[in-house]
Amino acid sequence: MRITHIHIDGFGKWQNVDFDVDQELQVFYGHNEAGKTTLHRFISGVLFGFATAKHPAAQYLPKQGSGYGGSVTVVADNDAHTRYRIQRTAGKAGGDVSVYNVTANQPEPEERLQQLLGSVTETVNSATFSFDLADLQRLTATSEADLMALVQQVGAVGSQTWLGQATDLNAKADAIYKPRGRKPELNQALATYHTLQEQVAVAAGKYPAFVQLQKQIDDDEQAQMAQVKTIDALTQKREQLTTAKRLWPSYERYRGLSRSAPASLNISDTDYTAFLQLKTQHDQLTDTINRQNSGMQAEATTSAELTFYLAHRQAFAVQADQFASVGDWIRTRQQQRQQLNDDQQEVQRIQTQDQLSEPWPIPFTETEKAEVQQLTASEGTVTSNQTHQWPVVGAGGVAIILGLLLSGGLRWLLFLIGIGLLAAGWLNVFKQPLPEANAPQTRLQALAKSHHLNGIDPSQWLGLQNDLQRLETLQTRQVTVNKQIATLNEQIAHYFEQYAFANDWLPLQKRSAADALTAAQTFEQRLVTQAATNDARIKQQTTTVKNLTDMQQQLTIVDQKRAQILSRYQLQTDDQLIQAYQTQLSSVTKSAQQQALGEQFTPALQQQLAQFNDEKEIEQQLQLTSERLGQTKQAQQTLNQQLADHRATFKQQSADESYLALQQQVANQETLLTDLLHDWLTVSLAQQWIHAALSNASADRLPAISKRAETIFAALTLNHYTEIKLTDTNLFVTEVGGQQFDAAELSRGTLEQLYISLRLGFALVMAQQTPLPLMIDDAFVDFDAKRKRAMIDVLREASTQVQVLYFTADDLMIGEVALKQLENLD
């Protein structure tokens, strides 16, 4: 690709200008500030893109309002020599670019530009195909070693840039780390790290002690428990000894009692109790027997009367059996006497009433009555029987009056009888039919005679019949009653005569029968009672006597048993037994005392006390134990304190996060170190990479480069050096005289010329691969005139292969090139 024309719309100082460009060599001449560099930048800008806003100084925005950008017309290296116009205007990311095919008169796709440029970028372009004063000036500022490196590694694209970069990287790497340095960051960080590690080691060293501390605490805790046990044991022992000391006097006494062995207990409590019971029974029995005997003697007296009675008990009983009969007799006799009296009164009353006289008329039979009736009926005489009834009524009245006079049950009896009689009489008076009258006279007379009725009118005869009959009844009854009374008198008299034997105790003579009976009854009653009492007493006595016999038997048995007990112990009397038992009791009490003491002295205690010979020994041991206890407590206190300290230390160390902080610091430091190592290795390796790549490229290209460079070097050294030779590691130059020098042996000036030769050689070699023009911006301004001319010759010769654009302010150049190849910018 060769540039044929340049058109600038607006770029820096250039506005709307056109430059025709020679396809081989084009010199742009102008003084400083004439716009050479601006033009140079414009061409690069159109081809590779304008600078972005990040680099405003490189943008060359036009000061006036004209449009930014322009176009570069090129002719392609193809056979057709097609002409393209590359136009670039303001736009994003390096400006908007368009490609126009001038030959075909048509626009081209943007990709065409890349095709035209090959794979060369602006960077590659500037590194390979651009030279400017700054490059060479930089060269003079480069150290010899770096210059040497440049020379050796010139064979790579952008090797100068790369080498500069490598140098920068080297500086960076050195700033990070130097193997023997102290200041670089990594060296410092490493030192800090080692210090931290030492600190960590020291801190970690505490760990075994810490583990040991835990063990120590465990051990201390064990020891503490053991101590507590020891203290308990000692305290217990001290208490035992104190007790032993206190008990010692009692113990000695106890031992004394133990030595005087107690009497053998030969009277058993059972026996003694039985004995006492038997003794009591004996006394009680004896007492009871005595008392009952005397009681029986006191009760033996009986009255004479009772004695008599008891002696004639049978006779009295026979008499007493008849009390009721005799009573009846006496009452019956009384009644019959009354009857007789009553009947006599009635007889007299009837006789008086009927004016009867002796011989007393005899009553008729029923037949005679009927006859008289007939006889008297013919005479027509009726007699009333009415009057014969009045005595009955009268008897009733008497009975009532008597009843009223008398008292008690009899009164009521008489009263009732009276009323009965009154009623009966009354009825007879008013309801008896009248008898009929009977007649013939004769007959009447006969009858009168036979019935002692002379002087009495026959009409009255029948009327008298009831009275006469009554009289006859009464007279008959008088006879009977009198007989009965006589019998009764006899019986009663006989009865009382039977009491004659008891006349001394029961005198009954000159007493009415009733009185006598009452007296007899009273007597009988009293004595029957007395006799009964007497009988009971006698019976009681019999029982008592039997009891006494029983008791006597019991007493015998009791006494036998008591004797048995006594004999069991070969004793004679109760008192001996009691005495023996009392003795025995007191010995039991003694042994009880011993036992009581013994209770204080448990077997264990006794055993314990038995160890000691005397109180002094106890005291010695007590003192010893107290001392040991004191010591152990002291030790406990010390241990407790130690344990507390250890625990506190343990806790404090447990809570101590400084180690963690330290570890974190180490970790952070490691991060820092690793980062730094990474950084350092990155720059170091990047630097190595550059050198390696450049070396590779140079090693490959240098033969071709040196071939091209030889001519240039000869021209620049005014043919002092004729040959450049390369080995794997070294670069040699050959003098005209054939003398060979290692590049390292060359003077600085010569070395610079060698580099420029190689650099140009490289550009030319590279130009064969890529079609870009070589742009040299006043690179040789410091050369002397001879060398400048030599350079022009070199460039002119080179321009046959590659288009060369040369920007210079050197007047010398004006005469060296054809007019069409010169563009005066001034």
Partner 1 sequence: MKFIHAADLHLDSPFLGLRQLPNALWQTLYDAPFTALRRLVDDAIATQVDFVLFSGDIYDRKERSIAAQAFFLEQMQRLQAAAIPVYLSYGNHDYTTGSSDNLQLPANVHIFGNDVETFKLTTTDHLHVQLTGFSYANRAVTEDMAVAYPEKMAGADVAIGLLHGAVAGVSTEHATYAPFTVAELQLKQYDYWALGHIHARQVLHEAHPWIIYPGNLQGRHVKETGAKGYYLVTRAASGELIPEFKAVAPVVWENNVVDAQQITSSEDLLAAIKTALPALPESAEKVTLTLIAVTLKHATTLPETVQDRLQNGSLLAILQRQLPAQQMVVRIDETADDKTTTALTDLDQAYWQAATKQVFTTDNLTRTAGQLLAEPLFQAALANPQTLNNLQQGAESLLKSAGKGDEA
Binding residues among 477-516 for partner 1 as defined by CB under 8 A: none
Min dist CB 658 to partner 1, Å, is 9
* Residue number, 5 or 647, with CB nearest to partner 1: 647
Written as six digits, the tokens of 433 are 């039919």
Q: Which of 31, 63, 81, 206 binds partner 1 (CB under 8 A)?
A: 206
The sign of the dihedral angle between the CA atoms of 278, 280, 285, 290 is: positive
* Residue number, 66 or 216, with CB nearest to partner 1: 216
Instruction: Kindly report the number of other CB atoms within 10 A of residue 467's CB atom.
Output: 23
89 binds partner 1 per the rule CB under 8 A = no
Min dist CB 258 to partner 1, Å, is 55
Distance from the Cα of residue 486 to its chain's centroid = 125
* Residue number, 616 or 651, with CB nearest to partner 1: 651
Contact 10/804 with Cβ under 8 angstroms? no
* Residue number, 41 or 388, with CB nearest to partner 1: 41
**Total binding residues toward partner 1, as defined by CB under 8 A:** 75
Min dist CB 749 to partner 1, Å, is 26
- Measured CA to CA in angstroms, residue 443 lies from 376, 439, 461 at distances of 11, 7, 13
Contacting residues for 63 by C-beta, under 8 A, at least 6 apart: none
221 binds partner 1 per the rule CB under 8 A = no
Min dist CB 643 to partner 1, Å, is 16
767: part of which helix (H) or strand (E)?
helix 748-769
Give the whole-angstrom CA distance, residue 353 versus residue 467: 10
Contact 231/632 with Cβ under 8 angstroms? yes
DSSP class per residue in 202-260? HHHTHHHHHHHHHHHHHHHHHHHHHHHHHHHHHHHHHHHHHHHHHHHHHHHHHHHHHHS
675 binds partner 1 per the rule CB under 8 A = yes
Phi, psi of 824 (to 5 degrees): -90, 115
Q: Which of 540, 769, 800, 801 binds partner 1 (CB under 8 A)?
A: 769
729 binds partner 1 per the rule CB under 8 A = no
199 binds partner 1 per the rule CB under 8 A = no
Give the whole-angstrom CA distance, residue 31 versus residue 778: 11
Q: Which of 61, 689, 800, 818 binds partner 1 (CB under 8 A)?
A: 689
Min dist CB 674 to partner 1, Å, is 5
* Residue number, 220 or 354, with CB nearest to partner 1: 220
Stretch near partner 1 under the rule CB under 8 A, chosen from 3-11, 61-69, 203-211, 786-794: 203-211
Give the whole-angstrom CA distance, residue 694 versus residue 699: 8
Residues of this chain, 695-714, that bind partner 1 according to CB under 8 A: 695-697, 700
Contacting residues for 594 by C-beta, under 8 A, at least 6 apart: 254, 257, 258, 262
Min dist CB 115 to partner 1, Å, is 15
Stretch near partner 1 under the rule CB under 8 A, chosen from 435-443, 610-618, 672-680, 786-794: 672-680
Half-sphere exposure of 573 (CA within 13 A, CB side): 3
223 binds partner 1 per the rule CB under 8 A = no
177 binds partner 1 per the rule CB under 8 A = yes
* Residue number, 47 or 558, with CB nearest to partner 1: 47
Give the whole-angstrom CA distance, residue 25 versus residue 684: 43
Contacting residues for 358 by C-beta, under 8 A, at least 6 apart: none
- Measured CA to CA in angstroms, residue 175 lies from 168, 185, 718 at distances of 10, 7, 43
114 binds partner 1 per the rule CB under 8 A = no
Residues of this chain, 40-69, that bind partner 1 according to CB under 8 A: 54-55
Q: Which of 42, 60, 162, 721 binds partner 1 (CB under 8 A)?
A: 162
115 binds partner 1 per the rule CB under 8 A = no
Contact 119/766 with Cβ under 8 angstroms? no
Q: Which of 74, 86, 120, 326 binds partner 1 (CB under 8 A)?
A: 120
* Residue number, 769 or 801, with CB nearest to partner 1: 769
Residues of this chain, 627-666, that bind partner 1 according to CB under 8 A: 650, 653-657, 659-661, 663-664, 666
678 binds partner 1 per the rule CB under 8 A = yes
688 binds partner 1 per the rule CB under 8 A = yes
Contact 574/562 with Cβ under 8 angstroms? yes
Q: Which of 693, 704, 781, 812 binds partner 1 (CB under 8 A)?
A: 693
Min dist CB 783 to partner 1, Å, is 23
Q: Which of 104, 145, 204, 610 binds partner 1 (CB under 8 A)?
A: 204
Contacting residues for 75 by C-beta, under 8 A, at least 6 apart: 1, 2, 4, 23, 81, 82, 83, 84
Give the whole-angstrom CA distance, residue 269 versus residue 530: 56
Min dist CB 55 to partner 1, Å, is 7
* Residue number, 224 or 688, with CB nearest to partner 1: 688
Residue type, 172: K
Give the neighbor-by-neighbor strand order of the sheet with 721-726: 721-726, 731-735, 740-742
Q: Can the peptide bond before residue 359 be classed as cis, meaning omega within 30 degrees of 0? A: yes
* Residue number, 236 or 664, with CB nearest to partner 1: 664
Contact 633/224 with Cβ under 8 angstroms? no
Q: Which of 3, 75, 116, 127 binds partner 1 (CB under 8 A)?
A: 127
Min dist CB 664 to partner 1, Å, is 4
Stretch near partner 1 under the rule CB under 8 A, chosen from 353-361, 518-526, 688-696, 787-795: 688-696
Closest CA to 268 of 714, 569, 660, 669: 569
426 binds partner 1 per the rule CB under 8 A = no
* Residue number, 158 or 440, with CB nearest to partner 1: 158
* Residue number, 50 or 177, with CB nearest to partner 1: 177
Q: Which of 191, 211, 226, 644 binds partner 1 (CB under 8 A)?
A: 211
Contact 163/146 with Cβ under 8 angstroms? yes
795 binds partner 1 per the rule CB under 8 A = no
Min dist CB 137 to partner 1, Å, is 14
165 binds partner 1 per the rule CB under 8 A = yes
